Amino acid sequence: MSNEVLLQAQDVRQYFTVKKERGQKATLYAVDGVTLSIYKGETFGLVGESGCGKSTLGKTFLRLYPLTGGKIVFDGKDISRLRGKELKEFRCKSQMIFQDPSSCLNPRRKIEVILSEPFIIHGLYNTKEERRRRILELCDMVGLSSAYLERYPHEMSGGQKQRVGIARALALNPQLIICDEPVSALDVSIQAQVINLLEDLQKQLNLTYLFISHNLSVVKHCCQRIGVMYLGKIVELASAERLYQNAMHPYTQALISAIPVIDDGSERPIPQQIVLSGDLPSPTSPPVGCAFHTRCPHAMERCGKERPTLQEVEPGHFVSCFLYEQIP
Amino acid sequence: MNTVKQLLKHKNFMFKLGLVICIGWIVIAIFAPLLTPYHPINDQNIVGRFQPPSAEHWFGTDSLGRDVFSRVLYGSRISMSAGLITVLISFGVGILFGGIAGYVGGVVDDVMMRFSEMVQSFPPLILAMVIAAALGPNISNSILAMAIIWWPNYARLTRSIVISVKENDYVTASRILGASHLRILYREILPNSIGPMAVMATLDLGNAILMFSGLSFLGLGVQPPVPEWGAMVSDGVLTFNYWWISTFPGLAIFSVAIGANFIGDGLRDYLDPRMRKRA
Ligand SMILES: Nc1ncnc2c1ncn2[C@@H]1O[C@H](COP(=O)(O)OP(=O)(O)OP(=O)(O)O)[C@@H](O)[C@H]1O
Ligand SMILES: [Mg+2]
């Protein structure tokens, strides 16, 4: 990890128009004002409940949607409004690995054809042999036997398909890879293999990861910095260590207390589990004030009226909560 | 090519039977002049009319003394091509229309689907009658009328399939790799949507032939003396004592409808990965 910023998001907003019953339209605030920086070579973890907008944020960074508001700067260049040829060039620099290995590969194509796609789209390696050589190189990198190239996706296991997905993401030599829950659909025994593979590749190729997960223990293991997301907003952002030692936001505290603790006989006190009441509010009508106040054990009167902003409470540790508001 | 080979290896007897029936009728349609003992229109024989089936006239003769067997074989030319052309036009228009609506979504989708619903809300037979009556009753107009009624089914099916297929991560992956919309449509979405469409088309072939026959039955399709199965059935209905006149063309319609259904069913089984065993 260096001090150079690879991706910088400023107040990024991504809204969708959705249809409600009786044909009424509503705005869905999937990502609502996210500001963060991802440094070159780091693994940035993004955690939060299902539906809080993690995947949407990742896909927004990849410019899959027309940005509703805010700005994304990638490697010093504003990419928020790229179109056409420039957008296609940007596509080489950032890629994605998906959660569900069974839907990430076109079931009607052989693996070799799937892995040729990136080169055909971008007109790289024009002879068959060159392309083949590069594909074999990719297989080698992700630990996939070249025998699989002749297979169809349904003839492979989940872990093998995930490796193909990783190889495809690496094909264009990207700098940033969005890993959207890359292991949560896999067997526990294979999860570790894939995570190790991702870590090795990161070192070898100097990659930067945005690692999305709803599983804090996985994130703790492999991320340097972590952002906690709630209802389209980052509520806390800190280095992995600080976040686990000194979680500040009540939502983060609840998430961390929910990690199962293995009683290893040590004297460490077993933390009290904080159980959140209620469900995640609908992203089409987020609560006024602090988005979390409807479920917060420490909610004050103020929380239902004003919206807190992300503040740096110790170096590199940002929280969006009135409990830590410093009086100027 | 592989797909075709595997399809032929398919161990489904009904599917093969359907294939034999339908291909058989196409062969008959092509070689009708070589296979028929009499001319379907010119060989009239008023004296020998209403003859029951015999060695000379396998399917008997009709009210003008024409050989029903020859007319049934010749009738396949019009019935088969009317059915096939209707289904092909609807298939093409439907895929284009429904594919765009489903892929683009939003307002485009709304407008396109409202339009197809509008077309579909007419009672089909009445609409066909109106079109045939307005443009004149002949073969191409009735085929046109049928295609106009038929395509919205395909558009709606294509649209719903495309909407579900485009949610797959491999479509997103293709976008992230920088593929153009056209490439995504024909490389990723089309190959994964075409299966159910093809099933629908084969299941539909019989229906289209039935409907065309229905139009002819009502006097809106082909005009006498051209041999067409529906028109022949309607001929025979007026002279009910001579059962062979309408029974044999009726059986011909039935056999194509059944054969096409067998093919459609087999295709559906083949395309369903759970039913499919790979070598
Ligand atoms: N293309 C879209 N159109 C409309 N709404 C969308 C779209 N994509 C996502 N959403 C909505 O945005 C919200 C956030 O979805 P998102 O997939 O980003 O959540 P997530 O945090 O990744 O959840 P999970 O952990 O289940 O993957 C959800 O309410 C979802 O329904
Ligand atoms: Mg997600």
Share of chain B above pLDDT 70, in %: 93
Facing residue for A108 by CB, picked from B172, B176, B191: B191
Q: Is residue B3 part of a domain?
A: no
Q: Under an 8 A CB cutoff, do A117 and B191 touch?
A: no
Q: Whose CA is nearest to atom 26 of ligand 1?
A: A50
pTM score: 0.84
Question: Which residues from A are below 8 Å from B178, CB to CB?
Answer: 87-88, 91-92, 121-122
Segment A109-152, tens digit of pLDDT: 899 999 999 999 999 988 889 999 999 999 999 999 999 999 99
Q: Is residue B109 part of a domain?
A: yes
Among the atoms of ligand 1, which is closest to the Cα of residue A232? 14
Q: Is residue B42 part of a domain?
A: no
Residues paired with residue A208 on neighbouring β-strands, in sequence order: A176
In Å, what is the CA distance from B144 to each residue of B98, B127, B131, B198?
A: 19, 11, 8, 21
pLDDT reported for residue A289: 87
The minimum CA-CA distance between A71 and chain B, rounded to whole Å, is 19
- Among all bound ligands, the one having the nearest atom to the CA of A19 is 1
End-to-end CA distance of chain A: 33
Q: Under an 8 A CB cutoff, do A154 and B273 touch?
A: yes
Report how far ligand 2's centroid is from the alpha carbon of A180 (Å).
Answer: 7
Q: Whose CA is nearest to atom 17 of ligand 1?
A: A55
A55 lines ligand 1 (CB under 6 A): yes
With contact defined as beta carbons under 8 Å apart, do B260 and B14 qualify?
A: no
Q: What is the mean pLDDT of chain A?
A: 89
Banded model confidence at residue B242, pLDDT cuts 50, 70, 90? confident
A28 lines ligand 1 (CB under 6 A): yes
Segment A203-238, tens digit of pLDDT: 999 999 999 998 888 888 889 999 999 999 999 999
Q: Is residue B145 part of a domain?
A: yes
Kindly state the helix (H) or strand (E) to which residue B78 belongs, with its residue range.
helix B68-104
State the best of B107, B114, B167, B177 to mutate against chain A, taking most chain A CBs within 10 Å.
B177
Q: For residue B71, give the 3-state DSSP assignment.
A: helix
Measured between alpha carbons, how far is A46 from A227 in angstroms, rounded to an integer? 5
Nearest to A44 by CA among A193, A213, A173, A174: A213
Q: Under an 8 A CB cutoff, do A103 and B169 touch?
A: yes
Q: What 8-state DSSP symbol labels residue B61?
A: B
The minimum CA-CA distance between B14 and chain A, rounded to whole Å, is 26
Q: For residue A20, give the 3-state DSSP assignment.
A: coil
Cβ neighbours of residue B143 closer than 8 Å, sequence gap 6 or more: B82, B85, B86, B89, B212
Average pLDDT (B158-168) is 94
Helix, strand, coil percentages for chain A (3-state, nearest 5): 35, 25, 40
Measured between alpha carbons, how far is A67 from A247 in angstroms, rounded to an integer? 31
pLDDT at B1 over 60: no
**Rg of chain A in Å (alpha carbons):** 21
Segment B189-225, tens digit of pLDDT: 988 888 888 888 887 887 888 788 788 777 777 777 8
Segment B24-56, tens digit of pLDDT: 999 988 988 888 777 777 777 777 777 777 777
Q: Is residue B58 part of a domain?
A: no
Give the angle B226-B228-B231 at the CA atoms, nearest 5°: 95
CA atoms within 13 A on the CB side of A229: 31
The 3-state secondary structure of chain A, one letter per residue: CCCCEEEEEEEEEEEEEEECHHHCEEEEEEEEEEEEEEECCCEEEEECCCCCCHHHHHHHHCCCCCCCEEEEEECCEECCCCCHHHHHHHHCCEEEECCCCCCCCCCCCCHHHHHHHHHHHHCCCCCHHHHHHHHHHHHHHHCCCHHHHHCCHHHCCHHHHHHHHHHHHHCCCCCEEEEECCCCCCCHHHHHHHHHHHHHHHHHHCCEEEEEECCHHHHHHHCCEEEEEECCEEEEEEEHHHHHHCCCCHHHHHHHHCCCCCCCCCCCCCCCCCCCCCCCCCCCCCCCCCCCCCCCCCCCHHHHCCCCCCEEEECCEEECCHHHCCCC
Nearest residue on chain A to B188, judged by CA atoms?
A106
**Four-residue CA torsion sign, A17, A19, A20, A24:** positive
Q: Is residue B43 part of a domain?
A: no
Two structure tokens written together for A80 = 């928020």
Report how far ligand 2's centroid is from the alpha carbon of A222 (Å).
Answer: 19
With contact defined as beta carbons under 8 Å apart, do A51 and A283 qualify?
A: yes
Q: Is residue B46 part of a domain?
A: no
The helix-helix angle for A111-122 and B169-177 (nearest 10°) equals 30
Q: Under an 8 A CB cutoff, do B177 and A154 touch?
A: no
Q: Does A87 touch chain B (CB under 8 A)?
A: yes
Domain count, chain B: 1
A174 lines ligand 1 (CB under 6 A): no
Range of the domain at B190: 14-32+66-278
Q: Is residue B56 part of a domain?
A: no
CATH of residue B110's domain is 1.10.3720.10
* Spans of chain A, pLDDT less than 50: none
Among the atoms of ligand 1, which is closest to the Cα of residue A212? 22
Measured between alpha carbons, how far is B216 from B228 in angstroms, rounded to an integer? 8
Domains and CATH numbers, chain A: 5-261+270-324 (3.40.50.300)
Two structure tokens written together for A169 = 């993401």
Nearest residue on chain A to B164, judged by CA atoms?
A103
